[in-house]
């Protein structure tokens, strides 16, 4: 019986699961370390070039490797991390202006628009939502 044709997708999955590892162990460790730095210093100004240098890669290669490892670009990962921390701080009852500076945004309008884009609510609306859920 003739073997059925394999699709490109099936061929690629086979190649991924049965080939060499995608990353060298030291490359994986360096990118993980840069991710840990983002998690620790999320409220500081973090430059992509600094993260890439820390991982001993060009900025373009670093973005590609990070995205392949985590499914997000470093910029999106940092943004999501900051928004997650903002939600925690809002739930804890901190004022919105303080939350903005605590998560590393210099401008309140920028922080507010990013928050709304990610959550669907402005920080103030999210705060009211959290307060109404407590009652």
Please name which of 98, 29, 99 lies closest in space to residue 69, comparing C-alpha atoms: 29
What stretch(es) of the chain map to CATH 1.10.10.60?
A: 78-134
Longest dimension (CA), the chain: 71
pLDDT, residue 66, reads: 93
What is d(CA 84, CA 105) in angstroms, rounded to the nearest whole number? 14
pLDDT, residue 52, reads: 95
78-134 CATH fold = Arc Repressor Mutant, subunit A (1.10.10)
pLDDT, residue 9, reads: 77
pLDDT, residue 38, reads: 95
What is d(CA 58, CA 105) in angstroms, rounded to the nearest whole number? 26
pLDDT, residue 1, reads: 42
pLDDT, tens digit only, all 135 positions of the chain:
445 677 887 877 777 666 656 677 888 899 999 999 999 999 999 999 999 999 999 999 999 999 988 999 999 999 999 999 999 999 999 999 999 999 999 899 999 999 999 999 999 999 999 888 765
Sign of CA dihedral 21, 25, 30, 32: positive
Q: Name the DSSP class of 42.
A: T
Q: Are residues 93 and 99 in contact, defined by beta-carbon separation less than 8 angstroms?
A: no
What is d(CA 74, CA 52) in angstroms, rounded to the nearest whole number? 10
Residue 24 is inside which H or E element, if any? none
């Amino acid at each position: 019986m003739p073997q059925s044709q394999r699709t490109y997708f099936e061929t690629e999955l086979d190649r991924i699961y049965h080939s060499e590892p995608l990353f060298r162990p030291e490359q994986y460790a360096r990118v993980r370390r840069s991710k840990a730095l983002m998690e620790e210093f999320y409220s500081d100004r973090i430059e992509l070039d600094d993260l890439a240098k820390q991982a001993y890669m060009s900025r373009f290669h670093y973005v590609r490797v990070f995205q392949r490892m985590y499914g997000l670009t470093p910029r999106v990962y940092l943004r999501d991390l900051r928004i997650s921390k903002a939600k925690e701080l809002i739930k804890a009852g901190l004022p919105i202006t303080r939350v903005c500076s605590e998560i590393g945004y210099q401008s309140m309008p920028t922080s507010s628009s990013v928050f709304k884009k990610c959550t669907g609510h402005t920080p103030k609306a999210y705060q009211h939502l959290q307060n109404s859920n407590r009652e």
